[in-house]
Chains A and B, each alone.
Chain A
Amino acid sequence: MQALFRSMLLLLACLTGLGIRAQEITFQATVDKNSAATGEPIKLTLTLTNAPMGSGITPPDMGGLVIVQGPFDQNSFSMVNGRTSSSVMRTYYVQGVQPGDYTIGAATARVGGGTIQSAPIKIHLVKGESSGANSSLLNQAQKSDPNLFCTIALSKSKAYVGEQIIVTYTLYSRYNSLQPGDYDLPKLDGFWAEEIDLGETTWEKVPQTINGLRYNTAVIKKQVLFPQRPGKLRIAPMTLNYRVNVGFFNNGTPVTITSNAAEVTALDLPPGKPADFIGAVGDLKMDVKAPTTEVKANEAIDLTIRFNGRANLKLIDAPKLGFPSDFESYDPKITDKISVNGSGMSGSREFQYLIIPRHEGAYTVGPITFSYFDPSTAQYRSLSSAALEFNIGKGDGTANAPAGPARSEVKQLHQDIRYIRSGDLQLEPKGHHLFGSWYYLAGMSIPPAAFLLFLFMYRRRQLQLADTGGMRRKGADRIARQRLKAAADALGRNDREGFYSALGKALEGYFADKFNLGVTEVNSTMVHERLGHLEGGALAKQYAELLHDCGTARFAPIENKPRQQSYDEAASLIHRIEEQL
C-alpha cells in the first residue's frame, strides 16, 4: 500500500518535472482597471506560472497607493493532455487618496536561482465623488425630528448634462428598535439612474455624532444619476414609515419621516460640440484594434473599439464609422465591463464590428475619432485613432461569394451640388439681346434689299438684251466718238494737217481693228471687199473716198468739203458699220 503511494508520488513528481521543463515560466502583474476614482479599490494581481516549488514573490512598490486588503494567495494546478501547468496568484486591493497618475513598480519573483520582474503599471486616479451629507443639511434634517430622520445627499449640486452624480439616501436613528414599514421613494424626472448595489441594508459600524447626539446611520439606497436635460432638476423628498419602540408587548409607535428635497442644477453642455460628439461625459480613453489588416475578400475582420474610463459608459452609442462602401458591416456587438459603485460608473464598453470586405484593394478606415466632454475642465476632448489601412487580397472564391466579381449598383453616398463651370463663361453685356437690336434689323433687311436690287438690275439687263438694235447703235456711237476723238480735238484747234492725219488714222485704225487687219493692208480694194455688201456698195464707196480725201488733204491744202462735214461723215460711216456688222 505504502509502496504504491510512493510510486504514484514519484510518477507525479516526474510528470510535474516534465511539465515544468516543457512550460515557460511567466510572471505578470495585472490590474482590473487603469483608471479609477480616489477611494475606489483597484485589484492588483501578480501571477506566477509554472514556477518550481520554493519560489517567492516580493510585492512591488505601490508608488503612493495604499494596500487596503490582501495579499490573498491562490494556487492552481492543472493537467491537460499530459501537460501540467501551475500558477500562483497573489491579489492586493489598493486605493489612492489624491487624484493623479501613479505607477505601480515592478514586482519581483524569485525563481530557482534567478529573479523575474513584471512590467510596471500606470494608474490614473480621478477625483472620486464624496457622497456624505453636509452639516447644514444634517442640521436642517435634525430639526424636523431629532430622533429619526433621513437625508438625500448629492455628491454635487451642479453638474453638466450626462455627468455623474451620486445620490445617497441615508437614515439617521436614535431609536434602539426600528421596524420598517411602507416607504415612498422619490420618482426621478430628468435623470437616468443607475442603482449601486449595496447588498443588504445594515447599520454602519460606527455611530455618527451630530450636534452632540449619537445616531446610528444606514445607507438605504445609493444611485448614480445622469442629468438628461439642462435646467433645475428636482428630486422629490422620500417618505419612510417606521414603527419605533417595538417591544414584545408593544406594537410600537408609527413614525413617518420625510427627507429633504434635493435639487440639481444641470448645466447644458457648452457650445462648440464636435461633430462626433454623441453624449459621452466623463474621462475616457479609446482603444481601436483590428487583429489583422490583410485578409482576402469576403473574409471577416473583427474591428474592436474599446472605451475605457469613468463616464456614462452605458449611454455611449456605437460610433458611426465611415466604412468604405465596398465593406459590408454589421451592427456592432457590445461588451460591457462596467461597474457601478460608490464612486460612480466606470469600466469599459467595447464595440466589436464585424466587417467583410467584398472586393480586393487597399482601403482606409478612419482615423476613427470620438469626442467626449470632460466636466472637470468643462472642455470637449477628442480621441483619435490612427487610420487603419486594410489590404484586401483577391478572394479565393471558395468563401460564400458567388463566382466572378460581385456586381452591384454604384451607391450614391452623398449629395452635393455640381461643380462650377470653368473656362469661357460666355460673358455678355447684361440685357443685350441680338433680337431687336440694330444689328438684327440690318441683318434681316439686307437679304431682301439685296434681292430687290438684284431683281431690278436683272430686269433692266433683260430689257436691254431684248432690244439688240438699240444696244448696237449705242455701242457704235460710242466707238465712233472714241475713234474720232483726236480728230475732234484737231478740228477744235483748227489744225488742218493734224485734223486730216487724225481722221485718216481713225478711219484706217477702225477698219483694221474691225476686220482684224494690219494698218498697211487698209486700202480701197480691201474696203470694197469687206464693206461692199453693205448699203449696195454705197458705204464702201463713201468710206474709200473719205479715206482718200484724208490722204490727199493731209499733204496738200486741197479740201473737197469743209472739215466739219468730213468729220460728221466719218462718224456717220463708223456708226453705220457698227450698226450693220
Chain B
Amino acid sequence: MITRHLLHLLLFITLHPAQAQPEQLVLRAQDAYAKGAYDEALAMYDSLGQDLGSASLYFNIGNCHMKLGDVPMAILNYERAIRLQPGSEDIQANLDLARTQVVDRVNQLPAFTLGSVWDRVRGGKDVDQWARRSLWACALLFAFAIAFVLVRQRTAKRLLLAAAALCAVTTVAAIVLAAYRVSEVTDRSQAIIMMPKVDVLAEPRTGATTVFVLHEGTKVSVLQEHNGWYEVKLSSGSVGWAAPASLVII
C-alpha cells in the first residue's frame, strides 16, 4: 500500500514537476538536498525557477550547482540571488567561496567601505521594499496634511507640518531608491562566462584576432549585442567580442 503511494509520488515528481504545488516542491527539493541527491533537488528548483524567482531560490539553485561541481552556474545563480538581496551574508559567503575556484582574477573591485551598510539600506529583504515604503510615506504625508488642516491648536499645527515635511522628504527618497533598485535588478549589463575557455575576439566573427582569453565563472560587463555576439568589457578596461552561448547574462 505504502509502496504504491510512493510509486504514485515518484511518478508525480517525474512526470509533473511543474504542476506540483510550489510549496510542496520546495519541501521535496529540500529533502532531496538534505539526502545529497543534488541533481534531483536541482531539477525541482529549476522547474520552480521557470516562472518564479527569489533570492532564496537562486541561492538554493546555486548551492545545488556548487555541490555538483558546476562553478560557473553556481556563480551565476549566486549573483542573481545577491542582486535581489544585497548584503545577505550567506549568499556572499557562498559566492566568495565559488569565486575562489575561478581562474581569472580580473573583476575584484576594491571593497567599498560603506558597502555592507549601503547594501542593507538599499537591499533589505526584497526588491519591493522601497516601493512599499514610498507608499506608506506618501499615505502618511497626506494623513498629516489632513490633520494639519483640521487641527486648530498652533503647536500641534507646527508639529504636524514638521512631520508632513519629513514624510515628503522620505517619500521622494523612497521613490528614488525604489526606482534605483528596479533599474539595478532589471539591469542586463553583466554576465558570467560559462565555457571553460573563451577566446575574446577583436571583431564579432569567427577567425578574428584573439584579444584576451577568459575562463569560466568570470564576471564581465556586456556593452552590446550583435548577431548573438556580446561585446564584453573587463574592469581593467579591455574590450572584445565573446561568441554566442559563451556567457549568460545575470
Q: How far is the CA of A426 from the CA of B132 in the complex (A)?
A: 16
By size class, the interface of chain A is: 20 to 34
Closest 8 CB pairs of A and B: A447-B142, A434-B128, A435-B131, A434-B131, A427-B52, A425-B56, A421-B56, A435-B178
- Residue among B51, B59, B94, B135 making CB contact with A429, cutoff 8 Å: B51
Binding-face segment, A97-105, A305-313, A450-458: A450-458
Q: How far is the CA of A348 from the CA of B64 in the complex (A)?
A: 46
Q: Are B128 and A426 in contact (CB under 8 A)?
A: no
Q: Are A427 and B48 in contact (CB under 8 A)?
A: yes
Q: How far is the CA of A448 from the CA of B135 in the complex (A)?
A: 11
With A421-B59, A421-B60, A451-B146 known as contacts, the answer to whether A433 contacts B30 (CB < 8 A) is no
Residues of chain B with a CB closer than 8 A to A201's CB: none
Q: How far is the CA of A425 from the CA of B185 in the complex (A)?
A: 18
Residues of chain A with a CB closer than 8 A to B54's CB: 425-428
Q: Is A440 on the interface with B (CB-CB < 8 A)?
A: yes
Interface of chain B, helix or strand or loop or mixed?
helix
Q: Are A435 and B149 in contact (CB under 8 A)?
A: no
Name the interface residues of A450-469: CB closer than 8 Å to any CB of B: 450-451, 454-455, 458
Name the interface residues of B116-143: CB closer than 8 Å to any CB of A: 126-128, 130-132, 134-135, 138-139, 141-143
Q: Is A212 on the interface with B (CB-CB < 8 A)?
A: no
Q: Is B33 on the interface with A (CB-CB < 8 A)?
A: yes
A433-B128, A444-B135, A446-B139 known; 13 new pairs, CB 8 Å cut-off, are A417-B63, A420-B41, A421-B60, A421-B90, A422-B30, A427-B48, A429-B53, A430-B52, A435-B128, A435-B131, A435-B178, A454-B146, A458-B150
Residues of chain B with a CB closer than 8 A to A426's CB: 54-56, 126
Name the interface residues of A413-447: CB closer than 8 Å to any CB of B: 415-422, 425-431, 433-436, 440, 443-444, 446-447
Q: Are B138 and A444 in contact (CB under 8 A)?
A: yes
Write the residues of chain A forming the contact surface with B, with a CB cutoff of 8 angstroms. 415-422, 425-431, 433-436, 440, 443-444, 446-448, 450-451, 454-455, 458
Q: How far is the CA of A425 from the CA of B27 in the complex (A)?
A: 10
Q: How far is the CA of A448 from the CA of B138 in the complex (A)?
A: 8
Q: Are A420 and B33 in contact (CB under 8 A)?
A: yes
Residues of chain B with a CB closer than 8 A to A427's CB: 22, 26, 48, 52-54, 57
Q: Is B247 on the interface with A (CB-CB < 8 A)?
A: no
Q: How far is the CA of A454 from the CA of B139 in the complex (A)?
A: 14
Residues of chain A with a CB closer than 8 A to B143's CB: 447
Q: How far is the CA of A416 from the CA of B98 in the complex (A)?
A: 10
Q: Are B142 and A415 in contact (CB under 8 A)?
A: no
Contact with A along B168-195 (1 / 0, CB 8 A): 0000000000110110011000000000
Residues of chain A with a CB closer than 8 A to B130's CB: 435
Q: How far is the CA of A446 from the CA of B56 in the complex (A)?
A: 33
By size class, the interface of chain B is: 35 or more
What are 29 A-B contacts with C-beta separation under 8 Å? A417-B66, A417-B67, A417-B97, A417-B98, A418-B90, A419-B63, A420-B33, A420-B59, A422-B30, A425-B57, A426-B54, A427-B22, A427-B53, A428-B53, A430-B52, A431-B186, A433-B127, A433-B128, A433-B131, A433-B186, A435-B128, A435-B131, A440-B131, A444-B138, A447-B141, A448-B138, A450-B142, A451-B146, A454-B146
Q: How far is the CA of A448 from the CA of B66 in the complex (A)?
A: 50
Interface of chain A, helix or strand or loop or mixed?
loop
Residues of chain A with a CB closer than 8 A to B179's CB: 435
Q: How far is the CA of A73 from the CA of B212 in the complex (A)?
A: 81
- In the assembled complex, how far is the CB of residue A114 from the closest CB belonging to chain B, in whole angstroms? 64
Q: How far is the CA of A458 from the CA of B151 in the complex (A)?
A: 13
Residues of chain A with a CB closer than 8 A to B53's CB: 427-431
Residues of chain A with a CB closer than 8 A to B198's CB: none
Q: Is B102 on the interface with A (CB-CB < 8 A)?
A: no
Residues of chain B with a CB closer than 8 A to A451's CB: 142, 145-146
- Residue among B67, B97, B182 making CB contact with A436, cutoff 8 Å: B182
Residue from A425, A431, A458 whose CB has the most chain B CB atoms within 10 Å: A425
Q: How far is the CA of A519 from the CA of B182 in the complex (A)?
A: 74
Residues of chain B with a CB closer than 8 A to A433's CB: 127-128, 131, 182, 185-186
Q: How far is the CA of A421 from the CA of B145 in the complex (A)?
A: 44
- In the assembled complex, how far is the CB of residue B94 from the closest CB belonging to chain A, in whole angstroms? 4
Q: How far is the CA of A312 from the CA of B150 in the complex (A)?
A: 98
For residue B49, which residue of chain A has the nearest CB?
A430
Q: How far is the CA of A295 from the CA of B59 in the complex (A)?
A: 46
Q: Are A434 and B145 in contact (CB under 8 A)?
A: no
Q: How far is the CA of A428 from the CA of B56 in the complex (A)?
A: 11
